[in-house]
Structure formats: C-alpha cells, structure tokens
Amino acid sequence: MSLSALSQFKLSSMSGDNARAVRVSAQDRSTGQDIQLEYLKQKTVGSGTFGVVYKAKLIPSNEVVAIKEVLQDNRYKNRELQILRSLDHPNICVLRAHFYRYEDDAKKFSKRSKKDKTYLNLVMDYMPETMYSVCQRYSKSKQRMPMLAIKLYMYQLFRSLAYCHHLGICHRDIKLYNILVDPNTGVLKLCDFGSAKPLVEGESNVAYICSRYYRAPELIFGATMYTTTIDIWSAGCVMGELLSGRPLFPGKSSIDQLVEIIKVLGTPTKLQIERMNPSYIAQKLPKVDPKPLSKLFRSSTPQDALDLLTQLLQYDPDKRLTAIEAMTHPFFNELRSSPGAVSSSSSSSSSSSTSTSPSIPTPTTSKLSTKAITDVNGLPVSTPTDTTQHPWPPLFNFTKEELMIRPDLKSKLVPHDNYFTLDS
C-alpha cells in the first residue's frame, strides 16, 4: 500500500470496550497534502518518557498502523519528524502521516496538562513484536534462537543501518526494544528515531546517549565528536545477545558498563583511548587481558559469527566494520547461497518462493505453555507448536541508492542469481 493511499482511508480507535471515532486534520507523508483522518484507537502498546504508542486501524482497509504520540517540549529539539520524513526503507518503520493534538484532546494523557501543551502524532508501520519479546519467548522455552534466524534478523538490521548511515543519520539508541519484528514473516524494522541525529563532521554531540547495555565505549569516555560507528557497536551488542540469550555487557552504571566491556575486550591501550576520545584525560585503568569471545558462547557457535562479532566490537571506532561491510561478511553467505536468496528478490507472493525457500525458524518445542505466549501488546502470536512454514522476507531488493553506498561491494552483496534482476 502506498503512503499516498492514506488519503483514501480513515484511521480507526477504541478505548477499552467503547469505540470512539476521532477525526483529525493530518499531513500525508508522501504528498505533503492536508488530509482528514478518522481513527479508532485500539490499545496502548508502549509508553515512556517519550510519550505513548497505540494501535489503530485504517478504514475501510482495516490495515493496522501504530501511532506514536510525543509531547512537544520547547526545551528540547525534536528531530524525529524531520528524520522520518527523509526515510523510506523496507527495514525501517516508515512514517505514513502526522498530525498534532492540543491540550484539550490530550488531557487523558496527563492530569497536569497546561494549556500550551502540544502533542505530535506519528502514524507509522505496525509490527507485532519487539526483538526483546522474541528473545524472551526463546528464553522462557529454554531455547536459543536458531542461527538462521539470527542471520536473517542481523542482516536486516545492518541493511537498515547502512541506509541511515549513508544519509548521515545516526540512530543513537539501537537496542532490542527498538527493533521490531514479525516472527511469521521474518521481517525486521528499525523504529524509534527520537534520539537520532544527522551527524555533521566537526560538530559536537551529546555524549550521554544510547541505552547503557548497548553504549559504545567512546561514549563512556565522554566523546562528543563520535560517528555512526556507535550504532555499529550497539548492533554488535544486539548480535551477542541473540547468540547468548543475555546482554553481553550488563553494566549497572556507566562506570560499571566500562568494567563489563573491559572484562571481555581487556584494558584499552593508550592509543585506543586516544582513538575513542582524544580529549580524554587519561586515568589509570586496571590491567585486564582480553577474553576470547568463544568463551562467552556455546561451543557450537560458528567461527564466522565470532569473527563478525569481533570486527563489530572494536575499541577503535575506525576499525569497526561499516554496516554495508557487515552485510557482506561470510556469516551471511547462507542467505545469499540458499534458494531463499533467489525468491527474495522477487515478489513475496511468488508461487515458487513458498515451495523452494527455507522456512523462518521459530521455537518448536512444547516446553513453553502456549497460554503464556503473547506479543508485546498482550495479543496472541505464533506458538512453539505452530508448524506453519513461511518463506524468507525480501533481502536483496536493493535500490540504486543502496547499491551506490559501496559499488565495489556489489559483487559480494548481491547473490549471483539476483545480479541481473536488480534496478541498475
């Protein structure tokens, strides 16, 4: 469904058991035109200091969308709307439209609302689960995520980052909660660009950014001239968590976070600290030898997975792989060489793809009661006993813009069977 098609629909909303349609004036993301939308709020699916996220349905299509409502605070610069307007990628939660609600309409969200309060509402793609909820499902069933699932998810995460970084946008809050997935289709979408920022060379940025477990060491050392490589470190932490089933560096404070990193990577050298933050005033750190990453994971963990992780979790930001380089790593060769690689470049509705593509792995044992299995919204999702087979999501439907990020890597990035089918 195209973004401009929003103007043909009404947004649909439910508060508890009582349906109450609300009509708002919105702006269509694709056309920039003012449109009238009617929505029926279904359920609050997330909340925090940023605001609230809820589900809604497009009528008459009944397509489910997510609406993120954020209080506009003049003390802080909100770049999210501007950034989302510039993003259009299959692995990013795309903005459909936006509208504003004012204090009279938003009283229910804050009893202490003042007359001048304004709420920005972002209408976006809806996804049934977060990566966190998927990991919890595996953990509760005493399973580890299958390696193929890790490859599918990490590949799509790197693809979303390659696109953002090419545009100069740093997400600055990569973590399991901000990675949305549909376990039935295998599709992954990066969300929550509330902390994102277009980075400008030579321009200072705030160092206290990114959730602690996923915070790059240069941020802990107080760097303000960092680059998009902080997202690469965070992605490495996500990958480590998918492999082990637990956070890789579970620090209890900012200093303890550095301690947890040093326990694994060893004490950074003077040169490495200088590469992370040239302005850092050196303090004596305890001498700790690095620990082989293989000690942190199952003995069955593939060597190419450990090699990729090693190249992501480097103290020196410049020595980390870029997102597009990570996509070409041998760890993902299975995706390029399997039958699924052929079908994923074409329409997902292709009749041949269902029969030839490997299926998306999900928990399959009966150790976990199906009663406990719901998505992040408390809604039923596929259970460990669900044996429905699903083909892979599109992985190689690259645009010209994506292929121009690193033209020299095209032969490694694109499966041979797809090479001449791309828009080139």
**Catalytic residue from among 28, 73, 104, 173:** 173
- Exposed/middle/buried for 286, CB within 10 Å: 0-12, 13-18, 19+? exposed
Q: Where are the alpha helices (DSSP H) in 124-216?
A: 131-140, 147-166
Q: Coil, strand or helix: which one is 24?
A: strand
Is residue 173 flagged as an active site residue? Answer: yes
DSSP single-letter state for residue 3: G
Tokens matching residue 99? 């509208």
CB 78 within 8 A of CB 72: yes
> Which positions make up the binding site for ATP?
68
| Of 238, 233, 235, 240, residue with least CA distance to 258 | 233
CA distance 325 to 306: 16
Neighbours of 340 (CB within 10 A): 26
CA distance 105 to 99: 12
> Which positions make up the binding site?
68
CA distance 218 to 385: 44
Neighbours of 114 (CB within 10 A): 7
| Of 100, 115, 104, residue with least CA distance to 51 | 100
Residues recognised as catalytic = 173
